[in-house]
Structure 1
């Protein structure tokens, strides 16, 4: 773990870099208008633009993210209906997100983007989210479901999430926010930017940004005679970023924008959970066997984007992008020499071998701890060009959007196993290093050509939006240890749909659509198992109401999605093959509802009183018996009619607040119903073969409340504070990767925001 001095240096440097004068960052509509945003690279645009979308669309604004000082995308997304999150580490480092019933595992079935650019480590070859953009540094978040997602890929059976990074401001702007909280949490966010107008060379813009977070974690590792640092289960995460832009003084508008950003993570995080009894006694305990677990990763991202509007009716935007991601998760793989046997971690947690495996994990039995260096490197690169052309005659107006993208990505796995000899006291007496590449030496690579076309046809009160998408994938899988498993595969995938919007009056809008989506298998799954893409057929219908004069808005959507050839992975963190498998058919249907009302605005009060609520009801049901009999898979041995793992039936979130120009206080509450954690829908920790396995069972239903407040000291300085998980609820959020895992306990924090000039 890096030392705390890194963040202290960052914070000190930030304060020295900025002038020691302040002003309060403007957050009104005028300020928002003074920020440069390329609308066409956003999934939705402004919250107002969501009203004209033919599918379910939601924008989470910068103000909503900052209101509760969230840096965990799981908490942010609770406000969006139709989104399901499975927590893992309590801080949102490794999100598991599902939209409308797709598999939650590592957000692999959701297209994750930042400023319109694919952000998964290798979106085609290995999309599992061991990296996800940091929501705490974002200026917004867009979530799109339904037929509107046809412009995006490659995973469009569920939906799209687009993170919006801080844009280059049009006027001189600087911002600093610092926080301190429980678990020795330190957090800092700072940026400075401006756009400079010149008579000869046009307009130049710049933005320098830094974000950093670190803490000691909220879990404690059991101590042994040779290990006394059990309180350090936290992480450090610094993120510098630079953006530059140029708009030349030509007769038609042109804009060139460059960005470079970097994220580093050093986390003492583990895959290992607890036994059921130990979780009930202390959910924030970690066993001594997990003390070597640590992940380090580095992600570097850059793009060069060129936009040109040669006429009033035509916009063309071309983006050249490149990301590189490296990570090494050094973590406990299994336990050996447990009275002569090897045990998987989930089996040991569930009491296998008369509890001897659990005693090994607790440091109370002589055994061997096998720790794997999961060393992998990824890259993503490509070029994309999108054109928008507007034309029309009389009442019929159209905007045709077309795009082409050539993309390459790759994951290279080069792993080793190390063996730690443990004495009956928990002391490590010997370490044997494994052979590099001996625990996995393979490569997956994808070359993808994607094309789409979409037409928005507006006739008086009607808008009809048909679209089609085609992708061709050339996939390569190379297994150095077993060359016979190597090979190539080709995928041709087609998606399409049509959405309809009808404006009944200035307040009411109806919408609906039909959409066929796809999600490709990994090269390994395509070559080894011969898998083709997962497909979905989705239908939705809904209505929106918005009356600005009454400060009231609402949206209700009913949806049905049929997933065919659902692709699942046979394990996560287990001892299985890690291959993609074809699960079969799943139906997901439900209701999404959201509403907002502010009586303060509606009645002309001198203070505001916002209220909001979201409700999601979902029934995600298996339509066939599971094809897998691999006990390592939580999707094995499922039966027709069973529920899909980790998709709650009911989610409910509400919030309210009081706010004046001088101070504000806010409350948010979320309820999530219990879920099954495996396709065979068992209550106890027993897999499909009847053997003990801590991944099988249920999660808890839970209710979590967050509060926050601020006080405006001067026009330029604001102090803030809050408590997340106000009632200190203890609840089980996941049984993956290995055994019961808790949500974050009560977390109190305080800090300040200063806008410097």
Structure 2
């Protein structure tokens, strides 16, 4: 599916890159010892003040903001950012489904996920549905980009980008220890030690970090005569990491940085939900048929990065990276008693799921291994042309990744009392045995131009992708395909004063399909996004505020027909979608404004969104939640209203914080039905609505010493019960009321 219509522009862009980099590299002068500017280039934003130089809307969430509430769930952290939509699934944020500005939420497939500026999804080209998120609790901050601010980041550019910032190497000796204990026998440990020292060979820095989280889980599985471990529904996650840095004694500034991180995670998590009546009686219940469900993952991630800055006006950052991810999600796929989604909506087979009838349980080993690696480089040159100041950034990335599936399906024979009487174990890879791979070259160029109080930032992005599928069980699925896509945009703004800025932009985005879609003739998703906004930040830090109106027109929106045991799990083109709305956010410190001896900050983030289909859905497959959608229908899982507000009291020794979140109800299918009925009129628990809900979280701390702090809090203080999703298989709850206490030391 080679897009010849893009070829002239692609060749022009590539030629511009080849010409720009040597010219920039030759412009070398004396070195500058201040490395702050070049080090910030590996971040999406760098620090909160840098938002005012970004050509579009962006947000930065510092770790202190989410550690106050004991958050380790990216869903809860991102509630403070407008324009972000989150379909919860497991209550802990293990498998987030994130949307920015109205793209499909499924598995965060339309969001470019990064850690420290490196692609973080296991295989972002060949398997963009991530099933993965970096662990929020070990991060130093989260950065979010939307609209015309995302030109530098791909391959998904129709929604936006999220960058997880890991703990940086400290510039002076620092030791951090945090221990936490809470509901459901949960405990966490976070520790790191690092320093940067002067040596005969230059400045040497190091960081050693360890993160652990373990819980028994908040759900309970129905027991049977041969199964009594119903309270084991939690997970275990362990993550060590090391970083090393060296700044040699050279005339030009050089810095080498190495990072290696490892994750070992195991969770007794399931796709299986409940019937709506059973959910209303006990949302934390799990049927006995889910007793075997477990996901086991292992992740290695590493990069080697070089910073080079011969003078103040030129920076070059080059990163070679490698990621390896393996997982096996062993979970219920089907039963002999009937379709699972139909059973959960009142059809046949519910007694089988509850362990009250004889049947066969088919449990699939969803084994997948992923690998991604590549090298990327970004060169930034600052110069003046007359009265215009330029900051030109040019980037190039070569990337390869693959997803390999070797799946089998075992059968457990269940008696009428729920006891397992026999089992059949099938050969490794007998259900699915294929490899999808992708090879990509990405190029971008962006120029921030300043003239007095005006600034404008045009940019272009081009990606060439080669796909291949090798199906060892069915060679008719094999094939190769190439795709060329181009996007870009322009952001502009005016600084009315040092405190007040107006900005706007237009962005042409793209979202490429995976190998199966590309080989099957699927079109890439494209978008045209407009935004207009204004920011205010007082010099004294009392008040910050932002308002942004946005409109995004999607064409050939790519969606996954179903994340679950029904449907093919393949992607498809939904059609045309329009998403528009308003984002409001702000912070105000009453204590600082009144000159009090304590701080009394308030924050607010509100999003209004109307995301609707502008054409009838292309799919008539009743098993797809995106089938039978009519023009004018709402896009599933995109709420119309979202609101997050909060306040705090901060004294010298103690403080307390309040955070309140409201999320509107949503349709869970493109045909926008309120009942559990699919497009063919058959019962299906994935169809219907989610609940609207309001959550109240509390946090508090007390300083025993300047470097020692006790903390605690409560999540979901009012113990609300609510349906957050009907995917993958039937109604699923948010986590119930939980508490936590702990101690934090900084030495």
Distance in 1 between residues matched to 2:729 and 2:569, nearest whole Å: 15
Query: Does 2:45 correspond to 1:53?
Result: no
Tell me the distance in 2 between the aligned counterparts of 1:37 and 1:225. 63
User: 2:414 aligned to 422, 434, 449, which one?
Assistant: 422
Give the conservation status (yes or no) of the 8 Å contact 1:65–1:140. no
Contact persistence 2:691–2:722 (CA under 8 A) = yes
Instruction: Look up the SS of the partner of 2:705 in the other structure.
Output: coil
The residue correspondences of 1:638-649 to structure 2 (distance < 5 A) are: 638-649=629-640
Question: How far did residue 623 of structure 1 move?
Answer: 0.6
Out of 673, 682, 699, the residue aligned to residue 690 of structure 2 is 699
1:551 matched to which residue of 2?
A: 542
Measured against aligned partners, the alpha-carbon deviations of 1:646-699 in whole angstroms (never above 9, x if no partner) come to 000000000100001200000000000000000000011111011111000000
Partners of 1:550 and 1:725 in 2: CA distance: 31
Q: Quote the Cα distance in structure 2 between the aligned partners of 1:575 and 1:725.
A: 32
1:412 aligns with: 404
Matches within 5 A, 1:439-518: 439-518=431-510
> For residues 642 and 499 of structure 2, what CA distance do their matches in structure 1 show?
27
Aligned length: 714
TM-score, with length taken from structure 2: 0.95
The answer for the alignment partner of 1:30 in structure 2 is none
2:373 corresponds to which residue?
381
Indicate the larger mover: 37-46 or 217-226.
37-46
Corresponding position of 1:176: 177
- Are the equivalent residues in 1 in contact too, given 2:372–2:402 (CA < 8 A)? yes
1:435 aligns with 427
* Distance in 2 of aligned mates of 1:276 and 1:58: 37
| C-alpha contact 2:378 2:393 (8 A) present in aligned 1 | yes
2:591 is the alignment partner of 1:584:
no
Contact 2:368 2:406 in 1 (8 A): yes
Matched, 1:594 2:589: no
Deviation at 1:34, TM superposition (A): 12
Structure-2 residue corresponding to 1:254: 254
SS of residue in 2 equivalent to 1:696: coil
2:658 pairs with 1:667:
yes
* 1:111-141 alpha-carbon deviations (Å, 9 max, x no partner): 0000000001100111222221011000000
Does the 8 Å CA contact 1:37/1:167 hold for their aligned counterparts?
no
Q: Would you say the 8 A contact 1:728–1:746 is kept in 2? A: yes
Distance in 2 of aligned mates of 1:275 and 1:131: 27
Q: Which residue of 1 aligns with 2:346?
A: 351
User: Are residues 1:231 and 2:231 paired?
Assistant: yes
Change (3 A) 1:614 1:167: same
* Cα RMSD, aligned residues only: 1.2
Unmatched runs of 5 consecutive residues or more in structure 2: 1-33
- After superposing the two structures, state which structure 1 stretch, 383-392 or 437-446, moved more: 437-446
Shift of 1:211: 0.3
Structure-2 change in CA distance of 1:104 and 1:296 (3 Å): same
SS at 1:277 equivalent: helix
**What's the secondary structure of 1:600's corresponding residue?**
helix
Match for residue 361 of structure 1 among 353, 365, 369? 353
Q: How does 1:17-36 map to 2 (within 5 A)?
A: none
Counterpart-to-counterpart distance in 2, 1:715 and 1:35: 28
For 1:309 and 1:213, the matched residues in 2 are separated by: 40
Aligned equivalents of 1:417 and 1:587: distance in 2? Answer: 40
CA shift, 1:532, in A, is: 2.4
Query: How far apart are 1:393 and its partner, in Å?
Result: 4.1
Contact 1:35–1:169 under 8 Å retained in 2: no
Task: Give the ranges of 4+ consecutive aligned residues of structure 1 lying more than 6 Å apart after TM superposition.
Answer: 33-37
Q: How far apart are residue 549 of structure 1 and its match?
A: 2.4
- On the 8 A contact 1:35/1:170 being kept in 2, the answer is no
**Aligned mates of 1:151, 1:110 — CA distance in 2:** 13
* Mapped partners of 2:468, 2:387: distance in 1: 50
Listed as ranges, the matches of 1:266-305 within 5 Å are 266-305=266-305
1:548 is displaced (CA, Å) by 2.8
1:185 match: 186
Give SS of 1:167's match: coil
Note if contact 2:606-2:641 (Cα within 8 Å) is conserved in structure 1: yes
Deviation at 1:427, TM superposition (A): 0.2
CA distance in 2, matches of 1:397, 1:53: 15
Tell me the TM-score normalized by structure 1: 0.93
Distance in 2 separating the partners of 1:507 and 1:302: 40
> Which residue of structure 2 lines up, in the alignment, with residue 521 of structure 1?
513
Shift of 1:344: 2.3
Is the CA contact 2:45–2:51 (under 8 Å) kept in the aligned structure 1? yes
**TM-superposed deviation, 1:576:** 2.3
Look up the SS of the partner of 1:76 in the other structure.
helix
* Aligned residue in 1 for 2:8: none
Post-superposition CA distance 1:235-260 (Å, at most 9, x none): 00000000000000111100000000
- Equivalent residue of 1:641, what SS? coil
**CA displacement 1:694-717 (0-9 Å, x = unmatched):** 000000000001000000011221
Residue deviations 1:51-86, cap 9 Å, x none? 222211100012112111110000000000000001
Residue number among 670, 674, 677 corresponding to 1:679 in the alignment: 670
What residue number does 1:5 align with?
none
**Residue aligned with 1:180, SS:** strand
Distance 2:444 2:738 in 1: 45
SS in 1 for 2:575: strand
Q: CA deviation at 1:395?
A: 3.2
The Cα shift of 1:35 comes to: 9.4
Query: Secondary structure at the residue paired with 1:584?
Result: coil
Q: Which residue of 2 aligns with 1:203?
A: 203
CA contact (8 A) 1:607 1:658 kept: yes
Shift of 1:747: 0.7
The whole-number CA distance in structure 1 between the counterparts of 2:659 and 2:78 is 13
Instruction: State the alpha-carbon separation in 1 of the partners of residues 74 and 563 from structure 2.
Output: 21
Which residues of structure 1 form unaligned runs of 5+?
1-32
Report the Cα offset of residue 36 of structure 1. Answer: 10
CA separation in 1, counterparts of 2:567 and 2:713? 43
Give the whole-Å Cα distance in 2 for the aligned partners of 1:666 and 1:677: 33
